[in-house]
Amino acid sequence: MTSLGAARGNSAATLTIGDVLAHLKVEFPDLTISKIRFLEDQGLVQPERTPSGYRKFSGGDVSRLRYVLAQQRDHYLPLRVIKDQLDAIDRGLAPPGTSTDSPRTSHIAVASIEDNAPTAEHFRPAPAALRLSRDELLNAAGLRSDQLTELEQFGLVAKKPGGHYDDDALAVAKIVADLAHFGLEGRHLRAFRTAAEREVGLFSQVVGPMSRQRGSEAKGRAEETVRELAALSVRLHAALVQIGLREVVGRS
């Protein structure tokens, strides 16, 4: 793997922004020139500039961009966290579990929440890629048919219009399967759906106006805000649950 830190001070900066897009778009089909510019504005990559102001990217710049995009896609990390990881790598450190050489092991996005909160699964804003039949979903998630029926009844899992299940359905089903080991069933989890809908309504007041702004960078800012809000929401929820459970244990 090309050193991520090599992006800085690399004299072999010969690629235009169009070259970079063509190079990375096969792996990241949703990538646009606007997104690359947005990542530059956020300080994630620093291409050289010609005297006339044109960007020139090096191989290290491309590796750095690939790292950022992979961390967003595979781990749903906010740019703030990715930037901290890159700063650590630039200092010769290796944050655990952040190698760009590791292949994708799942379509499900997993984020490591900070401040000693537990690991949590998040939904990606990009269109889901999986198309699972009912039996495939049951096998992949480890659920029984009656458990899936209950999840559908309470609106926690739903089929897509084509009659298949997607990444989001699998993510929820896997979490519910893990909770079932503690005796929790779909009917116990309706409150999670209600709470999520309330958060979506609240956060939409922040993201909605941003997504309607004009300009090539507006979508990138809106997507990054979604990631930040999702991560902060999970951290707050985890902190409150941990505090409450510690009080329960302390009273027993």
Per-residue pLDDT, 23? 92
Alpha-carbon distance values, 106 to 12, 27, 75, 103 (Å) = 35, 15, 10, 9
Per-residue pLDDT, 2? 46
List per-residue pLDDT tens for the chain, 252 residues long. 445 654 454 557 789 999 999 999 989 988 888 889 989 998 999 999 988 888 999 999 999 999 999 988 887 788 888 998 898 888 877 665 554 443 332 332 333 333 333 333 333 444 446 789 999 999 999 999 999 999 999 999 999 998 999 988 998 999 999 999 899 888 888 888 888 889 889 888 888 888 777 765 777 778 778 878 888 888 888 888 888 988 888 876
Buried b (16+ CB within 10 A) or exposed e, 180-206: beeeeebeebeebeeeeeeeeeebeee
Q: Which domains does the chain have, with CATH numbers?
A: 4-105 (1.10.1660.10), 134-251 (no CATH)
Q: Hey, what's the torsion of the CAs at 224, 228, 229, 235, to 10 degrees?
A: 160
Per-residue pLDDT, 44? 92
What is the pTM for the complete model shown?
Answer: 0.51
Per-residue pLDDT, 110? 32
Q: Of the candidates 57, 77, 54, 55, which has an alpha carbon nearest to the alpha carbon of residue 67?
A: 77
